[in-house]
Amino acid sequence: MPWSVVCNGNILGGTIVFVSAQPWRRHVGVLRALSMGRAGNAAAEFALVLPLFAVVLMGIVKFGLVLNNKVELSAGVQAGARIFAISRGSATPWTDGVAAFRSVTANLPAPAPTIAVAVNGAPCNNDATCQAALGAAAGQTVSVTASAPCDLQVVAFNFAPNCVLSSQTTERVE
C-alpha cells in the first residue's frame, strides 16, 4: 500500500506533516459530511407519496363496494324473477317476489332500489295484476328489472356523478 503525505497547515513557522498508511481515511470525513444531509430524504419522499397512495387505495375500496352492490342487485333480481316464475297459482305473487328481492338486496345503501315487473310484456305492480297476468301466462316470460343509485365519489372527485346500477332477468313462467 503506497504511503501518502498530507500537509494540513503551518504552526509557528513549522510544518506539521501527517503520514498516513491508508489514503482512503482522509475521505471518510467528507463522505460523512455529505451523507448527514440525507437523513430525512426517505421521510420527505414518503410524505409526498402517502396522499396519492391513500387516494388510490380509497378509490380501489370504493370501486370494490360499488361492484359488490352491482352483484347484490343482480342476485336480488334473479331471486325475484325466480319467485315470480313459480308463483302462477299464488295469491300474493307481487308481495312474495318483492320480499325475495328485498331480502337479497338488504345490504344495498339507501335509497332502496326500484323494481319493475312485466309478465309477457305487460307491467304488473301489485298482487291483483300480477296474479291475473301470471294465471294466463304459462310458458310465457316474466321480466324483473331493478335499478339503484351508486356513489363513486373519492375524496373530492366524483368519477361518475349520475351513476345508476341496473339489472334485468327474464324467466319463463311455470
Task: Give strand ranges (E) for the chain.
Answer: 4-11, 14-20, 114-119, 122-124, 141-149, 153-154, 157-158, 164-172
Q: Is residue 156 part of a domain?
A: yes
What does the DSSP assignment read for 144-155?
EEEEEE---EET
* Domain with 75 in it: 56-172
Contact 164, 152 (CB under 8 A): no
Position 151, amino acid: D
Q: What is the pLDDT of residue 159?
A: 85
Q: Is residue 102 part of a domain?
A: yes
User: 42-60, pLDDT tens digit by residue?
Assistant: 888 889 999 999 999 999 9
Residue 118 has pLDDT above 70, yes or no: yes
Residue 149 has pLDDT above 70, yes or no: yes
Give the chain's domain count.
1
Q: Is residue 109 part of a domain?
A: yes
| Residue 90 region by backbone torsions, left for phi larger than 0, else alpha for psi between -120 and 50, else beta | beta
Residue 157 has pLDDT above 80, yes or no: yes
Q: Is residue 157 part of a domain?
A: yes
Q: Is residue 145 part of a domain?
A: yes
Q: Is residue 129 part of a domain?
A: yes
Q: What is the pLDDT of residue 4?
A: 44
- Determine the Cα angle at 134 with ends 132 and 135, to 5°: 65
Q: What is the pLDDT of residue 3?
A: 42
pTM, two decimal places: 0.72
